[in-house]
Amino acid sequence: MTIFHISVDEFKSAMSIQAWVNMLWIDEKLKWNSTEYGGLRRLQVGNHEVWQPDIILYNSVTTSAIEHYGDTHCHINEDGAVLWVPPTQFHALCDLDLRLWPFDTQTCALKLGSWSYPGNQIDLRLNNASLKSAVHLIQNSEWKLLELTRLRNITTYACCPDEPYIYLVFTLTIKRDSPLYSSLFMTPAVAIVMMCLINFWLPPQSKEKFILCGCTALIISMFLIYFAHKLPPHSSKPPLIVTFYSGCLYQVTTSLVISALVINLSSRLYCRPLPRSIKKILIGWPGKYLGLSDLIQLVNLQPLADEQELGEGHIISDSSIYTSNLLSNNDDHRDREVIIYPRTKDTQLEWILAATAIDRFAFLLFCNIFALMGIICIL
C-alpha cells in the first residue's frame, strides 16, 4: 500500500487515507503458453473481467458501501500472476485522543481482510516494501506520518471454528503538523492574556475597564464557538486549549467583577475614611511592593488622624470639615447656620489607594494563574 494523503475527521472519530493498494495473486485459470500466442507474455484487462479477492476494510466508518477500490486495469502475466493497483480511499474508525489538539499525535489502524474466503482459500501475505517506498505524502498535508507498522493476524469466528481467517493490520502513527494552528490559536491566546492583565493597570476610575473586559470576553466566546463546531462533543477529555480558553473566560469575568468594585471604591465622593488598619498596611511595605509609592506619598501629605482641630470661621484644611458662623445683618430670616462640607479630597485619595492596591494584587494573582494554566497546557 502506497499512502499519498491522510486526513482526520474529529467529529466522526475517523481517519481517511488516499492510497494505492498493490495486490498480487495467482489465478490458475489465466495461465497460458506465450509461444502459442505469438510471444504474448502480458495482458491488460479491465478489473471487472477477472476474478478479484474481496478484500475490504473491517473497521470502516460506512458499512453500506464496501467497494473501496477504483476501476483500473489488471496486468496479467503468462504464469497467471495478476497485478492490480487500484486507487482507494479508506475511512477507518479511530479512537482519537484530542487532549493535545491541535498539536496531537494519533495512532490509527486499518484492518484489511477477505469477507467471504477463509485462510485456506485466500492466504493474505505482506510484501517486503519499506516505509520509505510505501509513503509519498503530499508536501502540504496537515498530517505527518511518523511510523507505519504491518502485521498479519489469523483468527477464527464462532460460526466457523475450523476455518481460520487472515487479516492484515496497518498501524499508522501520525502527527498533526500545521503551522497555521500556531498563528490561529496561540497568538490570540497571548493577546487575550495581555488584554486581561492590562485591565489592572488602567486608572482605577477608568470606565474603559468595562469595555476592555467586554471585548476580551467576546473574543474568547468566538473562539469557543469555533471549537464547538470543530471538535466532537462526545470527547471524554476536552482539549487543553479549550480548557485554557474556558479558563480565560472565567478570568475575564472575575476581572470584570473586580473592575466594578475598583471603580465603585475610587469614585465614591461622600464616604467614611479608609479604616486605619487597612491604611497602615497599604502605606507600609505591602503597598510599596505593589508599586503604590506615588499614591502613598500623596496620602502621607494628609494628616493620619481621623479628626483635626477645627478653627472658627476659616478653613483649616481643604479636606477638613469646618464650621462657619454666619451672623445676621439686620435680616430676621438669617439665623446662625452651621455648614458641613465633606472630607472629599483626602478620603477619596485613600479609597483610590485601596482600589489601586486591589488592582495590583489581582494583577499578580492573575499572572500566577495564567502561568499555571500555560504550564499545564505545555506539559
Query: In this structure, are 30 and 130 located in the same domain?
Result: yes
Q: Which three cell numbers stand for residue 120?
A: 485456506
Residue 59 resides in a domain: yes
Query: In this structure, are 75 and 148 located in the same domain?
Result: yes
Query: In this structure, are 90 and 217 located in the same domain?
Result: no
Which of 146, 177, 208 is the C-terminal boundary of a domain?
Answer: 177
pLDDT value, residue 245: 95
Between CA 356 and CA 288 the distance in angstroms is: 12
Query: In this structure, are 28 and 157 located in the same domain?
Result: yes
35 three-class SS:
helix
What is the tens place of the pLDDT at every residue in 158-167? 877 788 889 9
Query: In this structure, are 235 and 293 located in the same domain?
Result: yes
Average pLDDT over residues 201-211: 89
Q: Which residue has the higher pLDDT, 275 or 246?
A: 246
Q: Which residue has the higher pLDDT, 353 or 185?
A: 185
Measured CA to CA in angstroms, residue 125 lies from 129, 278, 348 at distances of 12, 81, 86
Q: Which string of DSSP letters, residue by residue, matches 312-379?
A: BSS-S-TTS--B-----SS-TT----------HHHHHHHHHHHHHHHHHHHHHHHHHHHHHHHHHHH-
pLDDT at 323 over 50: no
Between CA 123 and CA 147 the distance in angstroms is: 26
210 three-class SS:
helix
Average pLDDT over residues 180-184: 83
**Residue 232, preceding bond cis, omega within 30 degrees?**
no
Q: Domain holding 138: CATH number?
A: 2.70.170.10
Residue 80 resides in a domain: yes
pLDDT at 154 over 80: yes
Between CA 309 and CA 296 the distance in angstroms is: 24
Residue 317 resides in a domain: no
Residue 370 resides in a domain: yes
Residue 266 resides in a domain: yes
Which of 177, 205, 227 is the C-terminal boundary of a domain?
Answer: 177
Closest to 94 (Cα-Cα) out of 65, 143, 61: 61
Average pLDDT over residues 270-278: 69
| 178 band by pLDDT with thresholds 50, 70 and 90 | confident
pLDDT value, residue 298: 60
Q: Which residue has the higher pLDDT, 298 or 118?
A: 118
Q: Could you tell me the strand order of the sheet in which 105-114 lies?
A: 55-57, 105-114, 160-176, 143-157
What is the tens place of the pLDDT at every residue in 85-114? 999 999 999 999 999 888 899 999 999 998
pLDDT at 315 over 50: no
pLDDT at 311 over 90: no
Residue type, 74: C
| 335 band by pLDDT with thresholds 50, 70 and 90 | very low
pLDDT value, residue 338: 39
pLDDT value, residue 225: 94
In the chain, the number of structural domains is 2
Query: In this structure, are 139 and 283 located in the same domain?
Result: no
Residue type, 275: P
HSE-CB of 308 using CA atoms within 13 angstroms: 17
pLDDT value, residue 236: 74
Query: In this structure, are 23 and 10 located in the same domain?
Result: yes
Find the domain containing 120 and state its range: 2-177
212 three-class SS:
helix
Residue 268 resides in a domain: yes
Residue 198 resides in a domain: yes
The rounded radius of gyration (Å) of the Cα atoms in the chain is 39
pTM of the model: 0.74
Q: By percentage, how much of the chain surpasses pLDDT 90?
A: 36
Residue 323 resides in a domain: no
| 318 band by pLDDT with thresholds 50, 70 and 90 | very low
Query: In this structure, are 151 and 221 located in the same domain?
Result: no
pLDDT at 321 over 80: no
Q: Average pLDDT of the chain? A: 80
Query: In this structure, are 250 and 287 located in the same domain?
Result: yes
Task: Evaluate whether 188 touches 154 at the Cβ level (below 8 Å).
Answer: no
Query: In this structure, are 169 and 183 located in the same domain?
Result: no
| 15 band by pLDDT with thresholds 50, 70 and 90 | very high
